[in-house]
């Protein structure tokens, strides 16, 4: 298991009441597989993903990365060395170019990165479908689909094995959506990554190797 | 893309925002720099002028206080002289560098001419006894006027203590007087001590007795206070007149003035019985001394005054050279006040406005900071990145405002001093024993807006600190949040 969540609890305090978003949620993921977690809007998908990516911390329960508690690894360190996160709203630095956005995590991570970072960044973007000409544009001058590709390239730049994505195709049209999904499949199957995508779209879920359903804070297998 | 490179890149990429921040810093910085420049310049003036005014002090009757007395009170009081004891007691105070006390008296001469200016074509003929020369009695051998640069010994020597003690008939005269009469060191000059009575009925003076005062010239002095500039200064006439007076001053041991005055009194009393009786009755003395103290430090004058006042008889006061500062520094003082208020307002305004601008600047970038955090960047580096960004802009802004502020200060000062000065009816001229020739023009001349290194350092320090604090506080508030709160 590359990633495991054990009995995660997450709630919002509502007066005297605790409104649980996640209740004793447990889940496990392997390398080389493309996972989806399906749920309606407001079901807690983003919450779960942010706990898996250490963007937030649970009220109780643990997340284990290769068997080690990420709290022990250190949330910051876990984020910079072990996980790549893709957001629905891309979250790129708007004034920087595509290639600069890809270069940023390479200078933050402690993972080994090749000497000629810039060439690697261009190659990575090219592989994801961003030409050299577009790579040198400020990202706010790229289309949504192109921006999400840049975000994927950024997530891959530190050479991590774990990719988390929060509704990565939510803002894209169907054609774009399919291209992005194809990239995820390729990453899982050809590059041995563990790709976890949360989505409300069934057509995304059906293309994954394994799918879970999140309802009222409870996860079930989605067969 | 380390954080330093990111911050520099951000400055360039966010041109508009950087420029707004820069503009705000320059505008407010100029205001502060201007106010500080003016403050600094005025305090320079104060120091400068007080130094030039010197550390001299004397004891005088307080005429203002006497004037305010009613007629009855006036009849009651008995004005005492300051006796020699008191003068010496004050002279022994630790504030005093050296001091002198002088008697002076005027005498005429039959053999030498008095100095009447460099370019006098006609000679003024006087009827009756001439009193052209002032003998100034000296008790301090090196001559206080020379030490204090009123005059300068250019030939010969000053007195010896022995000459002062014995009242030897030696004199130091001005070089101009010597040249006029073809006198040299070693020559003698003769004054005449004539005693007259005045007949009220006939309106005529009658010579009672006279004796010669024969003085050996031991030194020549030149006046130091004459301004060299020949610009059409409207005050020149005044200074010339004062200078002529000084050129005809003859320094002698005080004992000579005392004994010559005594001779005058005695001869006069022989001729005027009535006066002699009255004099006798009142027990008056003809020994009137004007003391002159030079303090170690002009700043001591207040403390000196405080200590001396209890020692003095009633109705006397201490007059210090630096007292005149207020009367001549009017325009500069009003600038200092104005700049003080501008400075206070500017500092408060700057802290508020810079704080707000930086806050807006950061609010806008909150998401960006969240992205760096989500990529696992250390909080300290995220903070550093933005701090560097703001400080680089601030550094440029402060540097520019230092110069623009200084420039503005110079312009403002110029026009304000001009306006202020021309609105005054007359330049204040203070002429006394203490200070012959400082005017408002001198004050304005010594007013100079310039940059001292401590001021520059202070300005950078305070400026950077203000901006640093108003950046770091909201930054820390942001990076404390977890990335989900910022981003999702
Ligand atoms: N700050 C908050 N306070 C209270 N409830 C919140 C807050 N943020 C989110 N929620 C609630 O938590 C639930 C889960 O949110 P989220 O994980 O974003 O769902 P999803 O991503 O599946 O749409 C939602 O019902 C939402 O209303
Ligand atoms: Mg969501």
With H, G, I as helix, E, B as strand and everything else as coil, classify residue A60. strand
B-chain residue closest to A158, CA distance: B375
pLDDT digits (tens, 9 = 90+) for A26-50: 999 999 999 999 999 999 999 999 9
Round to whole Å and give the CA distance between A38 and A49: 12
Tokens representing B55?
Answer: 């550390």
Instruction: Please give the C-alpha separations between residue A198 and each of A36, A37, B173, in angstroms, as whole numbers.
Output: 5, 5, 108
- The answer to whether residue A120 scores a pLDDT higher than 70 is yes
- Closest C-alpha to ligand 1, atom 24: A42
CA end-to-end distance (rounded Å), chain B: 25
- Residue A143 Cβ inside 6 Å of ligand 1? The answer reads no
Instruction: Please give the C-alpha separations between residue A209 and each of A38, B2, B175, B459, in angstroms, as whole numbers.
Output: 13, 38, 116, 65
CA-based nearest residue to B176, from B137, B223, B210, B130: B223
Residues B275, B268 contacting (CB under 8 angstroms): yes
Per DSSP (E only), the strands in B383-471 are none
Beta A3-14 vs A60-65: how paired, if at all?
A: antiparallel
Min Cα–Cα distance to chain B from A132, Å: 19
Q: Establish if B481 touches chain A: CB-CB under 8 angstroms.
A: no
* CA of residue B197 relative to chain centroid, distance: 45
Q: Establish if A194 touches chain B: CB-CB under 8 angstroms.
A: no
Atom of ligand 1 nearest to the CA of A41: 23
- Residue A47 Cβ inside 6 Å of ligand 1? The answer reads yes
* A57 to B10: CB separation less than 8 angstroms, yes or no: no
Which residues lie below 8 Å from residue B246, measured CB to CB, with a gap of 6+? B150, B151, B174, B223, B225
Furthest C-alpha separation in chain B: 117
pLDDT digits (tens, 9 = 90+) for A157-185: 999 999 999 999 988 889 889 999 999 99
Ligand with an atom nearest the CA of residue A168: 2
Which residues lie below 8 Å from residue B291, measured CB to CB, with a gap of 6+? B58, B59, B82, B87, B90, B91, B99, B100, B101
Domains of chain A by start residue, with CATH: 33-55+72-221 (3.40.50.300)
Write down the pLDDT at residue B409: 76
Write down the pLDDT at residue B299: 76
Instruction: Dump the DSSP string for B235-286.
Output: THHHHHHHHHHHHTEEEEEHHHHHHHHHHHHHHHHHH-HHHHHHHHHHT--S
Residue environment code for B195-223, b if the CB has 16+ CB neighbours within 10 A, otherwise e: bbeeeeeeeeeeeeeeeebebebbbbbeb
* Phi and psi at residue A162, to the nearest 5°: -120, 125
Residue environment code for B160-194, b if the CB has 16+ CB neighbours within 10 A, otherwise e: eeebbeebbebbbbbbbbbeebebeeeeebebebb
Instruction: Dump the DSSP string for B130-152.
Output: ---EEEEEESSTT-HHHHTTSEE
Write down the pLDDT at residue B449: 63
Residues A4, A66 contacting (CB under 8 angstroms): no
Pocket test for ligand 1, best of A9, A22, A37, A47 (most atoms within 8 A of CB): A47
Number of H helices, E strands in chain A: 9, 10
- The answer to whether residue A110 scores a pLDDT higher than 60 is yes
CA end-to-end distance (rounded Å), chain A: 21
Write down the pLDDT at residue B447: 64
From chain A, the residues in CB contact with B370 under 8 A are: 91
Per-residue pLDDT of chain B in tens (488 residues, 90 and over written 9): 889 999 999 999 989 888 988 998 898 888 887 777 777 777 777 777 766 677 788 887 777 777 777 777 777 777 777 788 888 888 888 888 889 998 999 998 888 888 887 665 555 555 555 788 999 999 999 998 888 778 889 999 999 999 999 999 999 999 999 999 999 999 999 999 988 887 777 777 788 888 999 999 999 999 876 544 444 444 455 556 667 888 899 999 999 999 999 998 888 888 888 888 888 777 777 788 888 888 888 778 888 888 888 888 878 888 887 776 666 666 667 777 877 887 888 778 877 888 788 778 787 889 999 999 999 999 999 999 999 999 999 999 989 988 888 788 778 777 766 655 554 444 443 334 454 455 556 666 666 666 677 778 888 888 888 888 888 888 898 899 999 999 98
Tokens representing A206?
Answer: 């059906």
- Residue A42 Cβ inside 6 Å of ligand 1? The answer reads yes
**What is the C-alpha radius of gyration for chain A, rounded to an integer number of angstroms?**
17
Min Cα–Cα distance to chain A from B380, Å: 12
Pocket test for ligand 1, best of A10, A11, A12, A15 (most atoms within 8 A of CB): A12
ipTM: 0.96
Write down the pLDDT at residue B85: 84
Give distance in angstroms: CA of A88 to centre of ligand 2: 8
Q: Which stretches of chain A are DSSP H helices?
A: 45-52, 70-73, 75-81, 98-108, 117-128, 132-135, 144-156, 174-191, 202-205
From chain B, the residues in CB contact with A85 under 8 A are: 374
CA-based nearest residue to B301, from B323, B272, B286: B323
Domain ranges of chain B: 3-52+329-487, 57-324
Per DSSP (E only), the strands in B349-487 are none
Substitution target in B2, B5, B10, B376 with the highest count of A β-carbons within 10 Å is: B376
- Residue A41 Cβ inside 6 Å of ligand 1? The answer reads yes
In degrees, rounded to 5, the angle at the alpha carbon of residue B441 between the alpha carbons of residues B435 and B445 is 105
Query: Count of CB contacts below 8 A, A vs B?
Result: 70
* B376 to A80: CB separation less than 8 angstroms, yes or no: yes
Round to whole Å and give the CA distance between B158 and B160: 7
Q: Establish if A118 touches chain B: CB-CB under 8 angstroms.
A: no
Instruction: Please give the C-alpha separations between residue B402 and each of B25, B352, B357, B375, B397, in angstroms, as whole numbers.
Output: 11, 20, 20, 40, 8
Strand order in the sheet with A68-69: A17-29, A3-14, A60-65, A68-69
Range name among A17-26, A207-216, B145-154 with the lowest pLDDT average: B145-154
CA-based nearest residue to A171, from A132, A144, A194, A208: A144
């Amino acid at each position: 298991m590359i990633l495991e969540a054990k009995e995660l609890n997450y709630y919002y305090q509502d007066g005297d009441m605790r409104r649980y978003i996640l209740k004793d949620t447990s889940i496990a993921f392997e390398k080389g597989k493309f996972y989806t977690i399906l749920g309606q809007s407001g079901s807690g998908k983003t919450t779960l993903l942010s706990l898996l990516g250490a963007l937030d911390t649970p009220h109780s329960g643990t997340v284990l990365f290769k068997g080690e508690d990420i709290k022990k690894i250190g949330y910051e360190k876990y984020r910079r060395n072990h996980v790549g996160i893709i957001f629905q709203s891309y979250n790129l630095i708007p004034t920087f170019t595509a290639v600069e956005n890809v270069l940023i995590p390479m200078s933050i991570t402690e993972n080994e990165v090749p000497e000629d970072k810039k060439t690697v960044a261009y190659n990575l973007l090219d592989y994801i479908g961003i030409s050299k000409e577009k790579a040198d544009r400020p990202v706010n001058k790229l289309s949504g689909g192109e921006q999400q590709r840049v975000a994927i390239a950024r997530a891959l730049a530190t050479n991590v094995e774990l990719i988390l994505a929060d509704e990565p195709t939510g803002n894209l049209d169907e054609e774009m959506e399919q291209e992005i999904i194809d990239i995820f499949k390729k990453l899982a199957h050809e590059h041995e990554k563990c790709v976890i995508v949360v989505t409300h779209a069934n057509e995304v879920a059906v293309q994954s190797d394994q799918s879970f359903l999140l309802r009222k804070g409870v996860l079930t297998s989605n067969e | 893309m380390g954080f330093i490179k990111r911050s520099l890149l951000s400055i360039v990429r966010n041109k508009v925002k950087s420029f707004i921040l820069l503009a705000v810093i320059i505008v407010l910085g100029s205001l502060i720099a201007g106010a500080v420049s003016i403050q600094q310049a005025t305090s320079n003036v104060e120091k400068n002028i007080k130094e030039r005014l010197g550390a001299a002090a004397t004891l005088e009757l307080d005429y203002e206080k006497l004037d305010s007395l009613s007629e009855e009170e006036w009849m009651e009081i008995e004005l005492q002289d300051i006796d020699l004891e008191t003068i010496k007691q004050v002279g022994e105070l630790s504030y005093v560098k050296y001091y002198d006390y002088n008697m002076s008296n005027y005498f005429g001469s039959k053999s030498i001419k008095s100095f009447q200016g460099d370019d006098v074509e006609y000679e003024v003929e006087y009827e009756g006894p001439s009193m052209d020369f002032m003998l100034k009695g000296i008790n301090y051998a090196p001559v206080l006027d020379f030490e204090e640069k009123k005059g300068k010994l250019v030939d010969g020597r000053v007195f010896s203590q022995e000459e002062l003690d014995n009242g030897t008939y030696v004199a130091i005269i001005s070089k101009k007087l010597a040249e006029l009469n073809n006198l040299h060191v070693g020559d003698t000059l003769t004054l005449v001590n004539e005693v007259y009575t005045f007949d009220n009925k006939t309106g005529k003076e009658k010579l009672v007795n006279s004796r010669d005062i024969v003085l050996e010239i031991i030194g020549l002095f030149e006046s130091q206070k004459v301004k060299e500039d020949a610009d059409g200064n409207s005050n020149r006439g005044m200074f010339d007149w004062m200078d002529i007076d000084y050129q005809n001053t003859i320094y002698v041991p005080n004992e000579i003035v005392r004994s010559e005055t005594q001779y005058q009194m005695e001869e006069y009393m022989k001729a005027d019985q009535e006066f002699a009786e009255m004099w006798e009755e009142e027990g008056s003395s003809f020994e009137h001394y004007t003391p002159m103290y030079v303090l170690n430090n002009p700043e001591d004058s207040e403390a000196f005054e405080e200590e001396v006042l209890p020692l003095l008889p009633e109705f006397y006061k201490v007059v210090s050279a630096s007292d005149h500062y207020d009367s001549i520094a009017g325009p500069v003082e009003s600038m200092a006040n104005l700049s003080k208020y501008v400075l206070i307002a500017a500092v408060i305004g700057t802290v508020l406005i810079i704080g707000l601008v930086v806050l807006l600047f950061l609010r806008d970038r909150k998401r960006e900071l969240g992205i760096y955090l989500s990529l696992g960047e250390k909080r300290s580096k995220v903070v550093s990145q933005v701090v560097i960004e703001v400080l680089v802009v601030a550094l440029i802004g402060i540097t520019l405002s230092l110069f623009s502020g200084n420039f503005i200060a110079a312009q403002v000062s110029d026009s304000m001093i001009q306006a202020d000065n021309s609105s005054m009816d007359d330049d204040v001229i203070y002429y006394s024993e203490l200070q012959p020739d400082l005017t408002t023009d001198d004050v304005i001349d010594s007013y100079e807006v310039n940059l001292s290194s401590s001021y520059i350092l202070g300005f950078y320090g305070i400026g950077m600190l203000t901006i640093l604090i108003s950046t770091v506080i909201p930054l820390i508030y942001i990076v404390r949040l977890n990335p989900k709160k910022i981003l999702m």
